[in-house]
Amino acid sequence: MSSDIDLEKAFDIICDKSCDRWEDIAQKLSPGNQTRIASLKQEYRDNLRQQCYNYLTRVWWEEQGDEASVQELCRVLGELRLNRTKSLVEEVCNVTTVTHQKRPYQYFHTEGDQHLFKGQVNLKDNDRQVECFQAEVKDTKRKLDKYASQVSELRIKDKEQTKEITQLRKKTHEQEETIRELTNKIEVLNENKKCPSASYPSDREKTETEVDKTLMKAAHHFSSETELFELGTHLNIGYDKIQAIKTDSSTITMAVYRALQTWVKNFKGDNEKIQEQMIDVLRVMRRLDIVTDVFG
């Protein structure tokens, strides 16, 4: 078995030096994977390095698991006569090399025949390798601590930005409400300009002013076109008239106010009857909240 680090190093070397032969390497490592090979060629079209790298990591390594080794990769590279790539992998990954000297005679059985093999194995310096691995572990832990710190800082910044965005949204909503209220006041003032009152208004004019205030207070409780058209239906104001009022008004509140004004002008009765009729309409619409707030 080989370490994951050595395997990754070997993969990078093979992809850099011999990716144009990756299909031959694949056939040697795990014959019968034509479907996976075809899939990778389709997925990474015109990118031999990605095809090679994904085969080694996603197919061969996953299939072999802990049995995957750099030695097996070197064996296949040797069989394919990719000797430069093989030598580089052996050098970088410090793979055990085999010479043919000073090895005791051993017998191997192949198809019933005995063959004599002579050779000597040069073992790796285990202590040096352990030191290298320990250094890599230490360096990896240092990088991990650094990345963890960066992630923590980013999370803190994200929370602060989220809080700031929430505050800005709240302020924006408050400003929109202020603009809406000011717009309504401006439109009311413009309506008053069209029908200026005398310096000393009569009792009837005072009553009309109070009615207008009541209508405006009620209008502030409406916020949608659906409610506007429903109110028009209960007040017997035609659809076309309500549509015209909505078009001429900048807000739903102002449109409701003008619709109520139209109804009052056409209503035959004093202020008390207007109020009673208005309460009845609001009850039919199930808007008891307006009845309570406006009429008490």
**CB-based contact 252:224 (threshold 8 Å):** yes
Residue 189 has a pLDDT of: 80
Distance CA 100, CA 84 (A): 20
Asked if residue 86 lies in contact with residue 25, where contact means CB atoms within 8 angstroms, the answer is no
> Residue 124's pLDDT is what?
47
Q: What are the phi and psi torsion angles at 67 (to 5°)?
A: -80, -10
Radius of gyration, CA atoms only, the chain? 43
- In the prediction, which pLDDT does 283 show? 87
Residue 288 class from Cβ within 10 Å (0-12 exposed, 13-18 middle, 19+ buried)?
exposed
**Do the bridges between strand 106-110 and strand 113-117 make them parallel or antiparallel, or are there none, so unpaired?**
antiparallel
* pLDDT at residue 140 in the model: 82
The token pair at 219 is: 């209008």
**Rounded to whole angstroms, how far apart are CA atoms 207 and 271?**
7
pTM (global) more than 0.75: no
> Count of residues for the chain?
296
Q: Which residues of the chain have pLDDT under 70?
A: 1-2, 96-129, 131, 191-208, 268-269, 296
φ and ψ of 109, to 5 deg = -100, 120
| pLDDT tens, residue by residue, 141-163 | 777 877 887 887 788 888 888 88
- Residue corresponding to tokens 């929370």: 159
Residue 121 phi/psi, 5-degree rounding, is: -100, 125
Dihedral of CA atoms 32, 36, 37, 38 in degrees, nearest 10, equals: 110
Burial class (CB in 10 A: 0-12, 13-18, 19+), 220: middle
DSSP string, 75-89: HHHHHTT-HHHHHHH
